[in-house]
Amino acid sequence: MNLFTQVFENNCRWVAEKTKTDPEYFTKLATGQHPEFLYIGCSDSRVTAEDLMGLQPGQVFVHRNVANLVVSTDNNVNAVVQYAVEQLKVKHIIICGHYECGGIKAALHPSDMGQLNSWLQTLRDVYRLHRAELDAIPDEQKRFDRLVELNVLEQCINVIKIDHVQRMWYKTGFPQVHGWVFNVRTGVLKDLGLDMEQVFGDIRSIYDLRPTASE
């Protein structure tokens, strides 16, 4: 049996297992979604959100792209964030990078990659912003891993620049923004422990979109 055919056999077994445990599983699933998390991760086939978080369908709203980027001109990610925040009212937005990320590696070793060049520019900008720290790391693997982490930080900052996020944040205190890294070498999920309120506080005068009293 080839892998393509196996997918449909796997699906039949999955449906049977779910309905055996709960005959109303799909009836309830069809009534709507109420996830607490928006997960923005990498498209890498080794990094699947629900599996690494141990959660079920309906619990995580997921957006994935190469190197888990939040780009201000990307209508796709902006639409996802707006829907998650305004309609689903998620409590947490997670930016999850992963070690051994091909996009990060491409940023460390620039070359002409055709259509990918414009996308990877954002990653190369992250390298530029933190070049002094990164170039001071002699071990290439550690430098690679650190750029993964710094990219997560910068994408978390990009999330809190978004107007939909700020409006809901000031109104309700949510969503909270978190930066994680998945270690594909060990399977361990790492919370970087970013204090995004403090981070935003340092740049608030530049990116704060909250209307002033005079407005």
Catalytic positions are: 42, 44, 46, 98, 101
SS3 for 32? coil
CA 89 to chain centre: 17
Conformational region of residue 6, where left means phi above 0, alpha means psi within -120 to 50, and beta covers everything else: alpha
| CA neighbor of 98 nearest in space, from 155, 163, 33 | 155
Q: What tokens does 23 get? A: 């005959």
CB 166 within 8 A of CB 210: yes
User: CA-to-CA distance for 203 and 43, rounded, in angstroms?
Assistant: 29
Within 8 A by CB and 6+ apart from 35, the residues are: 58, 59, 60, 61, 84, 88, 90
